Structure 1
Amino acid sequence: MSDLITLTDRGLYCEAGDFFVDAWKPVHRSFVTHGHGDHAHIGMGEYWCSAASKDILNWRLGVQNIHTLDYGEQRRFGDVLVSLHPAGHILGSAQIRVEREGEVWVFTGDFKREPDPTCAPFEVVPCDVFICEATFAFPVYSWPAIEQEISRVLQWRELCESEGKAAILYAYSLGKAQRILAELNGKLDRPVLLHGAMERGVDVYRRANIALAPTELVMSLPGDTSFAGRLVLAPPSAQDSAWTRRFRSFEQAQASGWMQLRGNRRRRNLQRGFVISDHADWNALIETIRESGAHRVIATHGNTDALIPYLERELGVQAERLRTAYGDDEELTANAENVA
């Protein structure tokens, strides 16, 4: 039997169902796993996504031709049954399950297994073939508990206040920023200050009834405002820009899985780094592959040099890499600023 999902120059394609998945060039019909800029693109004839992703795609792409499925709802396309299942990555993120004559393929898109109050938790979907990301597929990447990192953020803010500085925390504008705000809810006595690029994404999450810490826009405050001890959320593209000059005295930090390695923090000229990621770490990735029961694993993007040999040697599964146009959304800083 031929592969259910294959790579084309426009994206991953399911011929039996006549649809694409996270197409990066215009096609007649594309399922979109989530709203980040490397997976959601303009120009599709039809967009299919989870119900919770609809407002995000409207915001990010300005499109209206969106069809939605609830998690677990099945829909037939040609010879296949398709359903969406929570990916735990950001609000509305979904895995795509495709079934034909008892054979099941699952495409995770980006995913994580950690608890996150801003999105539905990841669901393990048994399958024969598992197509997954490998963004942090090296054993060195092992995430600390989110509570630990949020406690470190709060301690850093207090230290900045004692030194008369603002605490500017860079985080991706969709997903990461809202997760941080949800974790900070009830833990600060003053609103978190937002860069203007954060406003619309935060509003989308609030409309979805996600509880977030109170926020204010930096631009709404008078020019003589003292920012000492204020926690500020901004996209990474704002680092060392003219925008930061209004704070006069400040420290800069970033929330990202890449902060697991101190060298990344030094190269980016940051005073602090907080290990908060919207992707699975090494252990979660291996655990998920094992739990899926797949006999074949296809990694779409990321670090496969360690993953593929490990899967073949330790789990006895067929493993391979599929070179797609997807990237790491934690690195798409320019795109984040342009679409926010």
Structure 2
Amino acid sequence: MSQPLLVFNEKGIYCQQADVYIDAWRPVDKCIVTHGHADHSRWGHKQYITHHNNVPIIKHRLGDITVSGKTWGETFTINGVTFSLHPAGHIVASSQVRVAYKGEVWVFTGDFKTENDGIAEPFELVKCNTFITECTFGLPAFKWTPQKEVFNDINRWWAANQNEQKTSILFGYSLGKAQRLLKHIDPTIGKIYTHGAIENMTEVLRPMYDFPTTTRVTRDTKKEDLLGNIVLAPPSAHGGTWIRKMVPYVTASASGWMTFRGARRRRAIDRGFVLSDHADWDGLLRTVKETGCEKVIATHGYTDIFAKYLREEMGLDARTEKTQYEGEQAEIENNKTEDSNK
């Protein structure tokens, strides 16, 4: 080929042959969207293409858009280029994008996670020549504990707070992390309350996924109702007036960044649970190896360190590209359009 199948420009990741972007960060005519987080699904594109389970998610967040939904592995061809979506395991309905043209195959992971969390469609390995991968947690320090052990810790934490008649407030992003928490926290311990942003998103997803019963926190919710129970809230709710009505409470955050104790202190969180919706160091390396790729492009995360390791330790042709994706740091909620009291 005279030029790469996919290139990075000022608008996003671009396939010139098909005149299609993937997860563009500026408005374009046609964009394939990997998942519903705000750094990957931006407002303003004329046409969106995504997995069909992601359609209601991005419509909820972006409003009246023109969007078509695809099934896993369904191929669609644009000007001779064949595209297909494959599970990324990151959050519900998250996709990798496979792009094939004249015998060459590229894969863009978007954000991905190799551990099967029991709710997101499990990650599918896709063989390719060139692999464009995130490396949000591309440092050897990031090695995840199996989620069963993490959720056992979360449930014990909640039960201990209940014994002390305190409200447990657990922070997680309203799309993805919150539903993973809902799926695995133990509803027999007590009642599960939710911040409005989480409840709104969970209502969008309930027709497609199985979740336990939740109760929305409203202006009429009394402090006495919350004592001993758990409240799921987005990180943006911490420190606001919304949380003051819940005293006495204990806070915790579920995030890969909780690997570092300093992150918990900076966020003024009582307890940190290391639970990420991204691949850890071992998951990243294993995936790169198993794709069989010859070339790797590292985006958003510890790109320089990760690419250097791939070159020097694995002998791969690896380089970095700058994007406007920020991985887990960018999954902070914008609740201006999601009234928590409705």
Common fold, TM-score beyond 0.5? Answer: yes
CA shift for structure 1 position 306:
2.2
* C-alpha contact (below 8 Å) 1:160/1:228 kept by paired residues: no
Deviations along 1:52-72, whole A, 9 cap, x unmatched? 111111111113310121111
Structure 1 residue 338 displacement after superposition? 3.4
Q: Runs (4+) of structure 1 moved beyond 3 Å? A: 329-332
Question: Matched residues in 2 for 1:10 and 1:86: separation?
Answer: 25
Instruction: Count matched residues.
Output: 337
Of the structure 1 ranges 305-314 and 241-250, higher mean CA displacement relative to structure 2 is found in 305-314
The share of aligned pairs that are identical, in percent, is 41
Residue pair 1:166, 1:229 contacting (<8 A) in 2 also? yes
Q: Which residue of 1 aligns with 2:293?
A: 294
The alpha carbon displacement at 1:236 in A equals 0.3
Say whether 1:247 aligns with 2:254: no
Please name the residue that 2:37 is paired with.
36
Aligned ranges 1:201-280 → 2 under 5 Å: 201-208=201-208, 210-219=209-218, 222-223=221-222, 225-280=224-279
Give secondary structure in 2 for the equivalent of 1:305. Answer: helix
Aligned residue for 2:308? Answer: 309
Q: Which runs of 5+ in 2 are unaligned?
A: none
Instruction: Check 1:298–1:142 CA distance in 2 against 1; reply closer, same or farther (3 A cut).
Output: same
Q: In structure 2, what is the Cα distance between the partners aligned to 1:188 and 1:339?
A: 33
Q: CA deviation at 1:115?
A: 1.1
Q: Is the 8 A contact 1:104 1:129 kept in 2?
A: yes
Give 1:282's aligned amino acid: W
Question: Paired residue for 1:112?
Answer: 113
Q: 1:325 to 1:224 in 2, by over 3 A?
A: closer
**Structure 1 vs Structure 2 CA RMSD:** 1.4
In structure 2, relative to structure 1, the CA distance for the partners of 1:50 and 1:5 (3 Å cut) is same
Residues 146-174 of structure 1 deviation map (CA, whole Å, 9 limit, x = unaligned) = 11111111111122122221110010000
Q: Hey, what's the Cα distance between the residues in 1 that align with 2:100 and 2:238?
A: 45
Q: Which TM-score applies when normalising by structure 1?
A: 0.96
Inter-CA distance 224–168: structure 2 relative to 1 (3 Å threshold): closer
Describe the shift of the 1:224–1:339 C-alpha distance in structure 2 as closer, same or farther (beyond 3 A). Answer: closer
User: Out of 325, 335, 338, which is 2:336 matched to?
Assistant: 338
Q: Secondary structure at the match of 1:244?
A: helix
CA displacement at 1:199 relative to structure 2 = 1.2
**Equivalent position amino acid for 1:284 in 2:** G
Match of 2:194 in 1: 194
1:41 is paired with a residue whose SS is coil
Look up the equivalent residue of 2:179 and give its one-letter code.
Q
Verify: 1:85 aligned to 2:97, yes or no: no
Q: Deviations over 1:37-95 (max 9, x none)?
A: 00001111110001111111111111331012111111111121111111011111111
Q: Please tell me whether the aligned partners of residues 300 and 322 of structure 1 are also in contact (alpha carbons under 8 angstroms).
A: yes
Q: 1:102 to 1:339 in 2, by over 3 A?
A: farther
Does the 8 A contact of 1:172 with 1:330 survive in 2?
A: no
Q: Secondary structure at the match of 2:21?
A: strand
Quick one: which amino acid aligns to residue 25 of structure 1? R
TM-score norm. by structure 2 comes to 0.95
8 Å CA contact 2:38–2:330 kept in 1: the answer is: no
